[in-house]
Chain A
């Protein structure tokens, strides 16, 4: 009974904090989908220069949607002829480098500015480093053949009925362009509902895991897992990959581990999760070769791990 009560309190406390931010993120994403064209991102993106890497970072602020909303933009950039390197930098950095994620991280970790600062700095470092490495790789080894990317105009990664599919991301501005104002507004409301529940179910599932860690699992075991410099980072990376939580609210999940897990592992979760998780990988298959996705994931994982260790030494 005591365990169930504690479980319920922790589960609800995270949800109560996260739901308003989830809703804000979904509304912003729906406004961008229905009323704003993503042309401005695609149009000005430098096609073939290192400057594209830095432009990719700035775009995160101007196009504040989480990882799910960025995949269609990335596809359009590739169709436009932008090099894969800056597109990957954009994909890796944009989910974290946006105003809502920054606000949420501050709210979840008040009085701990180092968590936000390291999250931003490490995200920039990893996304730039992966982008720079990909400049050395042939384009055809990274992206799918042009006709595959352009073929269905949508996201074939979502057609396989995967549990974390995000059908909505394929339905973007062009779909709504011909609709009258009232019909468009209805689409806008229903899109908010669909996106909200798509994200909410992952949020609830992740929160159930977080609450289990705090209540059902033996706390001495969790504490020993969380206090190990290396084990804590690996545990949080595994959780980030499996939980696949939206970057708009993942800080609230991480917060539940802050008392028992090392600061470096918390930062690693916040950096690694938005870049590499089940959901993001499935979506990336709509534009990138599997081999490239695996290499990008391995690179990100290695860098996140090492930077997490560094954070542990910096913060302790």
Chain B
């Protein structure tokens, strides 16, 4: 009974996430149809089985055993994700994992083949994080971005290797779902005298791109003019 109820609860939980437009926190939007289709099937199956159990006798011989751990253990196991999801709510992956593994933010190799953004040139102030990401993947020469205006949103990530007045404006690139997330980001230089924002806060940075060499690597640095805190977006990753 608890298993059949799980089918219905889990599908309703996923429908709720989708209605709040937060599915992008978990999976690449190109797979939304698959996730929702699967949950719809699960929901219908759960309802049909509940009705059948209510009106008809369940066929004999169906296994409800749980082996050495017992059915209670396994029922508890399948409810773990549901309970955790309800308690923790939706959101974006923090930068903690990237900071701990010292993953160096930069252009991920996978991006090279997907690069479809405009290369440097023209008006850039309306570019989003992903436009900058794909443009830099296509044309990584920092000098080509000298003086370009940028307004970009991302999560703050401190990196010990970066200069003291810099943080990384981070997002994750996800190809399938949040489990394959790879951090990518731009170094941001905070204005002299300004306070460094805390890790994992989402900010909108307005400023100017400047080529610079950091730790022997040439890259573009976003010289911040303003940094304002913003809500975590519904689609916090690059897909």
Whether B85 sits at the interface, judged by CB under 8 Å, is: yes
Cβ distance B179 to chain A, nearest Cβ, rounded Å = 4
Q: Contact check, B114 vs A111: say whether CB atoms are below 8 A apart.
A: yes
Q: Contact check, B178 vs A164: say whether CB atoms are below 8 A apart.
A: no
Partner pick for B45 among A13, A14, A189, CB 8 A cutoff: A189
Chain B's interface: helix, strand, loop or mixed, by majority?
helix
Q: A168-B63, A258-B180, A259-B181 are in contact. Are A214 and B97 (CB under 8 A)?
A: yes
Q: Most chain-A CB neighbours within 10 Å: which of B7, B84, B179? A: B179
| A204: B residues at CB distance < 8 A | 77-78, 80-81
| B117: A residues at CB distance < 8 A | none
Partner pick for A167 among B31, B63, B89, B176, CB 8 A cutoff: B63
B102 to chain A: closest residue by CB: A220
Whether B39 sits at the interface, judged by CB under 8 Å, is: yes
Measured in the bound complex, the distance between the Cα atoms of B181 and A162 in whole Å is 36
Using a CB-CB cutoff of 8 Å, which residues 34-72 of chain B contact chain A?
A: 34-35, 37-39, 41-42, 45, 48-49, 52, 56, 58-59, 61-69
Measured in the bound complex, the distance between the Cα atoms of B6 and A244 in whole Å is 23
Chain A's interface: helix, strand, loop or mixed, by majority?
helix
| A107: B residues at CB distance < 8 A | 31, 34, 176
Q: Contact check, A186 vs B52: say whether CB atoms are below 8 A apart.
A: yes
Cβ distance A185 to chain B, nearest Cβ, rounded Å = 10
Q: Most chain-A CB neighbours within 10 Å: which of B64, B87, B175? A: B175
Whether B96 sits at the interface, judged by CB under 8 Å, is: yes
Q: Contact check, A4 vs B88: say whether CB atoms are below 8 A apart.
A: yes
| B49: A residues at CB distance < 8 A | 189-190, 193
Whether B158 sits at the interface, judged by CB under 8 Å, is: no
Whether A314 sits at the interface, judged by CB under 8 Å, is: no
Partner pick for B182 among A111, A187, A214, A259, CB 8 A cutoff: A259
Surface stretch bound by B, among A16-24, A70-78, A122-130 = A16-24
Q: Most chain-A CB neighbours within 10 Å: which of B31, B64, B93, B180? A: B180
Measured in the bound complex, the distance between the Cα atoms of B78 and A223 in whole Å is 29
Surface stretch bound by B, among A47-55, A195-203, A296-304 = A195-203
Q: Most chain-B CB neighbours within 10 Å: which of A16, A110, A186, A260? A: A16
Q: Annotate A196-238 by CB proximity to B: 1 below 8 A, 0 otherwise.
A: 0110110011011011001100111011000000000000000
Q: Contact check, B67 vs A187: say whether CB atoms are below 8 A apart.
A: no
Q: Contact check, B35 vs A16: say whether CB atoms are below 8 A apart.
A: yes
Q: Contact check, A161 vs B65: say whether CB atoms are below 8 A apart.
A: yes
| A294: B residues at CB distance < 8 A | none
Whether B26 sits at the interface, judged by CB under 8 Å, is: yes
Q: A110-B175, A219-B97 are in contact. Are A16 and B26 (CB under 8 A)?
A: yes
Using a CB-CB cutoff of 8 Å, which residues 113-160 of chain B contact chain A?
A: 113-114
Whether A3 sits at the interface, judged by CB under 8 Å, is: yes
Q: A8-B85, A190-B49, A215-B97 are in contact. Are A111 and B179 (CB under 8 A)?
A: no
Residues of B within 8 A of A (CB): 3-4, 7, 14, 23, 25-27, 31, 34-35, 37-39, 41-42, 45, 48-49, 52, 56, 58-59, 61-69, 74, 77-78, 80-81, 84-85, 87-94, 96-97, 100-103, 110, 113-114, 175-182, 200
